[in-house]
C-alpha cells in the first residue's frame, strides 16, 4: 500500500508543477563546453536598431495613444507596429557551435555539413561553368529547344526586353510542340515583364503563376520572395546561378551596361532538389502537385561529381545556405575567396571571418562597387568594411560593371555557386538555392575566375575607408536603419 501510494504521488501529470515558472536561462550551455563562447555579440547601435524594428515598443505606444484618446497617433503607431511585425527576420544566425577543430578536407566536414543543412551529397553529376550572358543565354536557349517533356522555370527577375522576348518565343514554341511549360515568377521581382511577353507565353500554351502576390490576406508573407533562378529541362538538366532574364545580363561584362554574372549547367541527380524546390512553391501558389517521370525521371549517372543542392526558405526558421557559408568559413585553413554583389555580414559572420584571418587564412572578398544597383546594400556594405580591413582582410570593389554572381571557394577544394546574396534578405526572407561541391578541379576554375575578375577591381584600404567623407557616412547611417531589410 505504501509503495502504491508513493507511486501515485510521483505519477506524471499533463501540466507539470510550477506551471508559471520559467526554466533557468540558457541552462543547456552547462552541458556544452564547446559552445560556451558566442559569436557576434551585438553592439549598442545594433541593439538600438533592433529595438527600433521590434513590434512590441510600438504596440505599447499604441496602447498609450488609445488610452489617451490620441486616435491619429494610435493609427500611425498601429501601422508602425504592423510594419515591424511583418518585416521581422524569419531566420536568425547561429551564435554557438562555430569553433571547429576539423578542416574542409577532414572526413568530418561533409557529413557534418549534410547533417546540419539536411542536404545530402548526390553523386553522378556534371557541372559546366558559364561566364556572362554571351555564354549562358545561348546554352539555356539550346537546352529549351532540346526539351522533350517538361520545362520548369522559377525566377525572381523576368523583365521586358529583347532577351525576354527571345526566351518567350522559344518557350511558347516548345509548349506548342507538346512540352509542358510551367513558369513561376516572383510577383515583385518580375512585375515589369510586360504584356507583350505575357501574351506570347500564354498564346503558346505556357502555364504562368505568380509567387506570393501582395493582397491584404497575404500581408503576413509579403516580405518572402522567391529569389531562386532555375531553369529545369525534363528533370535531367538544370541551370542556376545569379542571373535572371533581362537585357542587362547580355554580353560579356565589357562595360557598365553588361552585368558580370555566372550560371552553372547541371546534369544528374543534383537537379532533383531544384525541381523539388520549384514543385513546392508551384503547389503553394497554384494548388497543383507536380508529379510523374517527366519531372522526376529515373536517376542516371552522367558524370562523376558529388554535389550538394541547398534550398533555403524562411519557413524553415533558419537558412541552410547561411549554415553552409558559416561552416565552410570556420573550417577553412588556407583561403576563402568570396564574390558577392551585396556583402552585408552580420556580427557573427564578421567574427568568424576575423577568426579565420587570425589563424592564417587568406581572406579575399569581392563586391560590387560603384556600379552597384542597390543603394541600401551598397552603403550598408561599405559601413561594415572597417573591422575586416583593419584585420588585414582584402576587400575588392568590382567597378567595370555590376558584379552579380554569388560564389565562394574555400581552400581551393570546396566551392559553392547559387542565388544567395551574403545579406540578411537572402538569409532570412527569401527562397534561395545554392549548389556546392568538394572538387579541386571545379574549385580551381572558380578560383581562376575570381583572379581574372581582380583586373576589374579597385582595392579598398583601411586608410581610404577611414577617410570617406561626411556625406558617405551620413548615407551609411541612414542605410544602417534598414540593414535587416537589405
Residue corresponding to grid cell 520572395: 225
Residue 20: predicted pLDDT: 40
pLDDT band at 8 (very low <50, low <70, confident <90, very high): very low
pLDDT band at 19 (very low <50, low <70, confident <90, very high): very low
Residue corresponding to grid cell 497617433: 73
Q: What is the DSSP letter of 57?
A: H
Instruction: Give the whole-number percent of the chain exceeding pLDDT 90.
Output: 73
Grid cell of 113 as nine digits: 555539413
- Tens of pLDDT, residue by residue over 190-212, are 999 999 999 999 999 999 999 99
Residue 300: predicted pLDDT: 85
- Tens of pLDDT, residue by residue over 326-353, are 999 999 999 999 999 999 999 999 999 9
Phi then psi for residue 275, to 5 deg, are: -65, -40
Residues forming beta bridges with residue 457, ordered by sequence position: 398
CA distances for 356 relative to 69, 188, 337, 437, angstroms: 56, 38, 12, 21
Phi then psi for residue 319, to 5 deg, are: -100, 115
pLDDT band at 373 (very low <50, low <70, confident <90, very high): very high
Q: Exposure of 107 by Cβ count < 10 A (0-12 exposed, 13-18 middle, 19+ buried)?
A: exposed
Q: For 461-476, what is the mean pLDDT?
A: 94
Collapsing DSSP to helix, strand or coil, 204 comes out as helix
pLDDT for 283 beyond 50 = yes
d(Cα 61, Cα 334) in Å, to the nearest integer?
52
pLDDT band at 14 (very low <50, low <70, confident <90, very high): very low
Residue 306: predicted pLDDT: 96
Residue 363: predicted pLDDT: 98
When computed from its CA atoms, the radius of gyration of the chain, rounded to whole angstroms, is: 25
For the whole model, what pTM was predicted?
A: 0.89
pLDDT band at 40 (very low <50, low <70, confident <90, very high): confident
Query: Of the segments 57-71, 81-95, 324-338, which one has the largest average pLDDT value?
Result: 324-338
pLDDT band at 486 (very low <50, low <70, confident <90, very high): low
Question: Is pLDDT larger for residue 279 or for residue 32?
Answer: 279
Contact 262, 220 (CB under 8 A): no
Mean pLDDT, all residues of the chain = 90
The answer as to CATH 3.40.1190.20 being correct for domain 109-114+309-485 is: no
Residues forming beta bridges with residue 365, ordered by sequence position: 338, 395
d(Cα 248, Cα 257) in Å, to the nearest integer?
6
d(Cα 135, Cα 166) in Å, to the nearest integer?
15
pLDDT for 377 beyond 60 = yes
**Which 3-state string (H, E, C) describes 380-437?**
HHHHCHHHHHHCCCEEEEECCCCECCEEEEECCCEEEEECCCCCHHHHHCCEEEEEEE
User: What is the domain class of 133-250+269-302 according to CATH?
Assistant: alpha beta
pLDDT band at 12 (very low <50, low <70, confident <90, very high): very low
Q: Across the chain, which distance is largest between two alpha carbons, in Å?
A: 90
d(Cα 222, Cα 66) in Å, to the nearest integer?
28
d(Cα 119, Cα 309) in Å, to the nearest integer?
7
Collapsing DSSP to helix, strand or coil, 354 comes out as helix
Amino acid at each position: 500500500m505504501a509503495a502504491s501510494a508513493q507511486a501515485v504521488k510521483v505519477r506524471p501529470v499533463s501540466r507539470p508543477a510550477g506551471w508559471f515558472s520559467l526554466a533557468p536561462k540558457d541552462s543547456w550551455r552547462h552541458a556544452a563546453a564547446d559552445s560556451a563562447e558566442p559569436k557576434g555579440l551585438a553592439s549598442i547601435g545594433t541593439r538600438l536598431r533592433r529595438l527600433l524594428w521590434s513590434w512590441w515598443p510600438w504596440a505599447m505606444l499604441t496602447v498609450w495613444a488609445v488610452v489617451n484618446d490620441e486616435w491619429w497617433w494610435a493609427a500611425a503607431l498601429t501601422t508602425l507596429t504592423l510594419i515591424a511585425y511583418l518585416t521581422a527576420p524569419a531566420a536568425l544566425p547561429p551564435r554557438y557551435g562555430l569553433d571547429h577543430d576539423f578542416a574542409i578536407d577532414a572526413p568530418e566536414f561533409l557529413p557534418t555539413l549534410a547533417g546540419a543543412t539536411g542536404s545530402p551529397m548526390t553523386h553522378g553529376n556534371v557541372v559546366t561553368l558559364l561566364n556572362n550572358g554571351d555564354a549562358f543565354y545561348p546554352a539555356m536557349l539550346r537546352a529549351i529547344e532540346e526539351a522533350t517533356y517538361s520545362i520548369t522555370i522559377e525566377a525572381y527577375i523576368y523583365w521586358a526586353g529583347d532577351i525576354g522576348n527571345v526566351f518567350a518565343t522559344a518557350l511558347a514554341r516548345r509548349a506548342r510542340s507538346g512540352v509542358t511549360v510551367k513558369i513561376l515568377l516572383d510577383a515583385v521581382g518580375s512585375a515589369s515583364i510586360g504584356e507583350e511577353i505575357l501574351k506570347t507565353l500564354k498564346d503558346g500554351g505556357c502555364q504562368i503563376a505568380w509567387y506570393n502576390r501582395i493582397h491584404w490576406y497575404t500581408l503576413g508573407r509579403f516580405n518572402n520572395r522567391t529569389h531562386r533562378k532555375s531553369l529545369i529541362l525534363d528533370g535531367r538538366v538544370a541551370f542556376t546561378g545569379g542571373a535572371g532574364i533581362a537585357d542587362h545580363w547580355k554580353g560579356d561584362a565589357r562595360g557598365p551596361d553588361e552585368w558580370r554574372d555566372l550560371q552553372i549547367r547541371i546534369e544528374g541527380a543534383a537537379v532533383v532538389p531544384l525541381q523539388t524546390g520549384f514543385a513546392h512553391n508551384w503547389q503553394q501558389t497554384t494548388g497543383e502537385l507536380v508529379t510523374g517521370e517527366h519531372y522526376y525521371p529515373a536517376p542516371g549517372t552522367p558524370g562523376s561529381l558529388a554535389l550538394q543542392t541547398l534550398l533555403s526558405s524562411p519557413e524553415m526558421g533558419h537558412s541552410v545556405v547561411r549554415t553552409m557559408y558559416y561552416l565552410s568559413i570556420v573550417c577553412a585553413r588556407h583561403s576563402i575567396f568570396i564574390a558577392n554583389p551585396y556583402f552585408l555580414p552580420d556580427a557573427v559572420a564578421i567574427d568568424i571571418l576575423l577568426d579565420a584571418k587570425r589563424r592564417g587564412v587568406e581572406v579575399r572578398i569581392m563586391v560590387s562597387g560603384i556600379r552597384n544597383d542597390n543603394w541600401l546594400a551598397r552603403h550598408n556594405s561599405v559601413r561594415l568594411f572597417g573591422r575586416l580591413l583593419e584585420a588585414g582582410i582584402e576587400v575588392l570593389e568590382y567597378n567595370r560593371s555590376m558584379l552579380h554572381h554569388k560564389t565562394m571557394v574555400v581552400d581551393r577544394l570546396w566551392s559553392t555557386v547559387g542565388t544567395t546574396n551574403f545579406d540578411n534578405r537572402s538569409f532570412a526572407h527569401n527562397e534561395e538555392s545554392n549548389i556546392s561541391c568538394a572538387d579541386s578541379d571545379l574549385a580551381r576554375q572558380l578560383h581562376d575566375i575570381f583572379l581574372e575578375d581582380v583586373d576589374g577591381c579597385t582595392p579598398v584600404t583601411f586608410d581610404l575607408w577611414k577617410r570617406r567623407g561626411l556625406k558617405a557616412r551620413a548615407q551609411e547611417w541612414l542605410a544602417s536603419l534598414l540593414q535587416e531589410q537589405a
